[in-house]
Structure 1
């Protein structure tokens, strides 16, 4: 009698190339060791899953905001039932699916269509697409180094993208920093800065 090993599928949209990535792993493999699932098209992103035997921790590349999100769930949530969906904290939209293969494939394809549509709209939305892309990339690198913070002491902030600028808003005090993102000079000025500090907003101001 042939034994079919039970599996779970994972789906996300690669933030680099926009491909819908769906990978399948056995429940045994997921429970035994860390698992890494790369984008087969460009290899520039990978969803990672680790477990301590009780809970699972996931690192999810996000096709919606371009970042990588960390999430935790129980072993029962991940390994049993139809599955779970994880949301992007920036856009509040679902960005990753895990569970039964048919469900994951359908939802991930829908996500890929939505991401492609939003990217198409963004390509027409900026004064200079290349400059905006470079500014956002530089901001991502600075955030990864812990070089973005607010004068109030918080490092928790949100990003709002405009046609020719990017706003950084502190989630703790509401302070805001606007960064121009339309010209080569705007990019050069950002790249010359080692750190970014959002002006803190005092109570009542």
Structure 2
């Protein structure tokens, strides 16, 4: 196995949502020193520390669980140039970041950005406040719907959507009740990810299509 003396790391800030690529070298993780990475906004995202001679301990804040996790990985895995590894939440196995080869990391982030741009163009996302946030909200709503957990109080799962620049309106095709899902900030994404189900409350007036201004 070929070992590099540096590694790249990328993880979204749990406070502002900014995605930054940081590089670490072998000297920053020497001895018993703890190397901390902060976002430009000042929030600490992650810390690294050697654990013995062959392992590295990674302590990071998880926006899914709203708490810190610690994972221990082989040192050779962290500094390899042959792979790009995924940092996941140990409870949900959701992707929170990447570490490994800088070149592979840049390629993956560029691929994701191109994919987002392509989807945004196809769906006419040019007018959205933040197309990436809108896509993340839509993606999570899709996951909730796939689990059968997106429905109306009337019992219907037949839900339509209307897209706006900063929100998504869910419309029940059975009783015309509606629900507004904010989709313009990182906080909107985090709030939705903490939801196991999304329920449209029935309008007070039967058959009314007026938006009741309910936010999740």
User: In 2 relative to 1, CA 8–106 (structure 1 residues): closer, same or farther, beyond 3 Å?
Assistant: same
Alignment of 1:194-205 (within 5 A): none
Deviations 1:93-147 (A, max 9, x none): 32221112111233345567877321466653764659xx69x77xxxxxxxxxx
Structure 1, unaligned runs of 5 or more: 138-158, 166-181, 187-205
CA contact 1:97–1:108 (8 Å) conserved in 2: no
Q: Distance in 2 between matches of 1:23 and 1:38?
A: 10
Matched, 1:118 2:140: no
1:203 is matched with none
1:37 deviation in Å? 1.0
Question: 8 Å contact 2:36–2:44 — kept in the other structure?
Answer: no
2:24 paired with 1:6: no
Query: 1:46–1:61: 8 Å Cα contact kept in structure 2?
Result: yes
**What's the Cα RMSD here?**
3.9
**Are 2:115 and 1:80 aligned?**
no
TM-score (norm 2): 0.49
SS at match of 1:106: helix
Contact kept, 8 Å, 1:47 with 1:58, in 2: the verdict is yes
Kept in 2, the 8 Å contact 1:79–1:99? The answer is: yes
Q: Alignment length, in residue pairs?
A: 140
Q: Distance in 2 between matches of 1:110 and 1:94?
A: 16
Match of 1:29? 28
TM-aligned CA distance change 1:90 to 1:53, over 3 Å: closer
Deviations 1:5-62 (A, max 9, x none): 932111112232222121111112123321111112x222412111123321112344
Residue 94 of structure 2: aligned partner: 93
Larger radius of gyration: 2
